[in-house]
Amino acid sequence: MKKLIVANWKCNPTSQKEARQLFDSLKKRLKNLKKTEVVICPPFVYLLGFRFPRSTPAFSEKGQGLRGRQVSSFRLGAQNCFWEEKGAFTGEISPAMLKNLGVKYTILGHSERRKLFRESNEMVNAKVLKALSFGLFPIICLGEDEEERKKGKTFRILEKEIKTALKKVPKSKIRKVVVAYEPIWAIGTGNSCLPDEALTATLFLRKIISKIFSKKTAENIPILYGGSVTSENAQDYLREQGIDGLLVGGASLRTEEFTKIVKSANIN
Ligand code: PGA
């Protein structure tokens, strides 16, 4: 399985010019990645400028580049999407819109949204189902907070989150699902999770997934780690069998740093 490295730019940068520069410099540095797929998740407003038009080979799943050049293992992702296709939902972006733009992935259920906008497990599930119905690959974020961790509730939280997020996901669509274990206490804190601990969480998630679907499905589902990933610690996660990639926030905004992270994935 290729390693999946997801750049979550969050609410950055503040101008299209900066966004373009960051995107272009990454694209230039990260060519011919054979073992890695890189997903750039900029704010919605920049997606249009980064897309590969549908008519070019770059849009194909095979990763052929513009005019036949191999530009990429690069894919576009959104940071969220709504659970309806269209209609009177002011401010929302639908999975149909993203799909039509050439976006492949969408992050769903990020802890910042769960907290700020009170996104519940049920809302995340509704988004997952709709995203899948439009052919998007959802990246479902889950993880415990500091207090839950201290109280030994981690597994209970993970079980509830994964079970609800995957409710009614048809067997035929499960191969598009990506899961990201992101302990909330590790996000943006510089306090990354020990690789062993991250591995334990991913193994637990696979156990739950295998009960819902099958052992094979659980083995094949990509599970990423996210939370204060840097070029220094990326390898520690990636060398663990069972951690299939990384969701990178802060470090994905720094070209050199993110390049190093991706390169460390590409040698594993
Ligand atoms: P971080 O963010 O790498 O800045 O900790 C990760 C995330 O929020 O996905």
Residue 191 pLDDT level (bands cut at 50, 70, 90)? very high
Residue 141 pLDDT level (bands cut at 50, 70, 90)? very high
Q: Per residue in 43-57, pLDDT tens? A: 999 999 997 654 444
pLDDT exceeds 90 at position 11: yes
| pLDDT for position 126 | 98
Three state DSSP letters for the chain: CCEEEEEECCCCCCCHHHHHHHHHHHHHHCCCCCCEEEEEECCHHHHHHHCCCCCCHHHCCCCCCHHHCCCCCEEEEECCCCCCCCCCCCCCCCHHHHHHHCCCEEEECCHHHHHHCCCCHHHHHHHHHHHHHCCCEEEEEECCCHHHHHCCCHHHHHHHHHHHHCCCCCHHHHHHCEEEECCHHHCCCCCCCCHHHHHHHHHHHHHHHHHHCCHHHHHHCCEEEECCCCCCCHHHHHCCCCCCEEEECHHHHCHHHHHHHHHHHHHC
Q: How far is the CA of 177 from the centre of ligand 1 (A)?
A: 20
| pLDDT for position 268 | 59
| pLDDT for position 59 | 41
| pLDDT for position 32 | 84
Q: Per residue in 206-228, pLDDT tens? A: 999 999 999 999 999 999 999 99
| pLDDT for position 8 | 98
| pLDDT for position 51 | 74
Q: Per residue in 64-117, pLDDT tens? A: 333 334 446 789 999 999 999 999 999 999 999 999 999 999 999 999 999 999
Q: Which residue's alpha carbon is at the smallest distance from atom 7 of ligand 1? A: 249
Q: Share the mean pLDDT of the chain.
A: 92
> Which amino acids bring their CB within 6 angstroms of ligand 1?
8, 182, 187-188, 226-229, 247-251
| pLDDT for position 62 | 44
What is the set of active-site residues?
A: 110, 182
Q: Per residue in 13-30, pLDDT tens? A: 999 999 999 999 999 999
Tell me the average pLDDT across 27-35. 89
Q: Which atom of ligand 1 is closest in space to residue 227's alpha carbon?
A: 5
Tell me the average pLDDT across 178-206. 97
pLDDT exceeds 50 at position 194: yes
| pLDDT for position 172 | 95
Q: Best mutation site among 231, 232, 246, 248 for ligand 1, i.e. most ligand atoms within 8 A of its Cβ?
A: 248
pTM: 0.93
